Structure 1
């Protein structure tokens, strides 16, 4: 997907997310489902805009997933950072007062969002530094920065300020820690946090060099202290990792409880442990490219990913 893909325009002001508005959601197709987590991504329209709704339930009838949205009695919207919304949902006539559903909404959803959450064929990519320079770097340089608006809104204190668990103010080595969109903050075993760095100069782990070691160590220590104080979860229960390729090109670290069931983003090839990255930087030469810049990375890539066509043209897709 090129960076010129138009983003659906949202109406002026904030979008209304309520039981009444969700009742008008019109499902068009199922993008993907997970039998492991009992969840489904549904594409449809809301406020006349393309919208993705993610429903997660202990037992979910996939064929009737779209109808569940119309059976909502109440929702509790606990995150709003357009285009991303998260809430708990209660089904009508349910005796138990606990939320029946976890509901995540992307509105307006772009073609890139739709492709990201669609079930798709994947291939293994062996990305050499040369392939990075030839294909990946051009893709990153053409990445539509407007897709990072929600990140900048968090870093600038315009959105989700009440959810920030830790903030270090510094343009060079500052960062924030906050709950990830994937976590509803109810089960500690499903704990999932995200660390967003303040600097915009690190787009992926290939941009890291020895000068970033203090930043990465600072992130690690702040995460350990914050999670221990806030959730009483020790450092030995946490995975800190970085994705490559990432979903968006602003450097961030994922923090997940070790009891959390593995999902695709935690599989070998995509997730790189933060401690391993620090070690590779420590072993890197004092001058010149770091080992991360020189390293060959092997990872899965979906046919709907924006890099796929470039990789195919470069002969990187193996039959």
Structure 2
């Protein structure tokens, strides 16, 4: 790892209820109140008295990190963009096609059972309509309120939500149904406590669905414009015409894009010519 770029993301894990109660009931060594506006207060606290089996921090490591990874995780200015179907065809699609096949090797390793096999919660092997459900790396699998799963479809024909058509309705409905059944069976969490959504632009161009507990409060990926509810996508496909591109293919999408993102320069150049 010494000679290759690496990204290490560190965050504190979620406290269990018992640990939180122990902290409140005398577990704090110091407390610094930095906001006092009754009835609202905010404070920083420290404690070395609490000992639990829950890890203090969670690390996510990307190695080797490509230039695309580094741009994604670097602090950068955001701009709102309006992506028309024409911009998708002229800018986004060539950008997607420019990636080498190895870019998605880690996804195919999961789908082919070479990696993370022990983490799979549900597996439908059908190559056209099958999918896998597994915990996302963002979830430490300890706190149900922070529950985060990913659904990976098996077909390689869907790069993003723009590729969805009415023919995919059965797949999307099955994802919703099996996700609800799996989460209830595995974790005791009911379907009406889950958000199922799809990112656009996604972080990688193999169609996948994010599954997050309704009480999850710290996820930037649920931002308006980036996250599209699975139920909304199903509804739009249901009213799409039978004999022409779907509404999703014809829409203009508005979302925030980092100025270091590989698409931004192309969008900027396009805007200067129109």
Question: Which of 304, 307, 310 matches 2:260?
Answer: 304
Q: CA RMSD in A?
A: 2.0
**Aligned partners of 2:159 and 2:250: how far apart in 1?**
16
Q: d(CA) in 1 for partners of 2:258 and 2:79?
A: 6
Post-superposition offset of 1:48: 2.9
Matched with 1:145 is 101
Name structure 2 gaps, 5 residues minimum.
15-48
Matching residue of 2:165: 209
Which residue is 1:177 aligned to?
A: 133
Give SS of 1:218's match: helix
Contact preservation (8 Å) 2:84, 2:253: yes
- Structure 1 segments of 4+ aligned residues over 6 angstroms from their partners: none
CA-CA distance at 1:132 after TM superposition: 1.0
- 143-152 or 290-299: bigger deviation: 143-152
- Cα pair 1:173 1:215 within 8 Å, conserved: yes
Report how far residue 264 of structure 1 moved: 2.1
Question: Which residue in 2 is equivalent to 1:55?
Answer: 10
Note the alpha carbon deviations across 1:204-258, whole angstroms, 9 max, x for none. Answer: 0000000000000000000000000000000000000000000000000000000
Q: Distance in 1 between matches of 2:157 and 2:122?
A: 21
Matched, 1:191 2:147: yes
Tell me how many residue pairs correspond in the alignment. Answer: 240
Q: 2:224 aligns with which of 268, 284, 307?
A: 268
Q: C-alpha distance in 2, partners of 1:285/1:95?
A: 59
Do structure 1's residue 163 and structure 2's residue 119 form an aligned pair?
yes
Q: If each structure's helix is expressed as a fraction of its own residues, which one has the higher value?
A: 2
Relative contact order, higher structure (CA 8 A, sep 6+): 2
TM-score, scaled relative to structure 2 = 0.84
- Check if 1:252 corresponds to 2:208: yes
Distance 2:206 2:267 in 1: 22
Correspondence 1:120 to 2:68: no
Larger CA Rg, structure 1 vs 2? 2
The alignment partner of 1:314 has SS state of helix
Report Cα offsets for 1:175-211 as digits up to 9, x if no partner.
0000001001000000000000000000000000000
CA distance in 1, matches of 2:86, 2:3: 44
Q: Which runs of 5+ in 1 are unaligned?
A: 1-45, 60-92
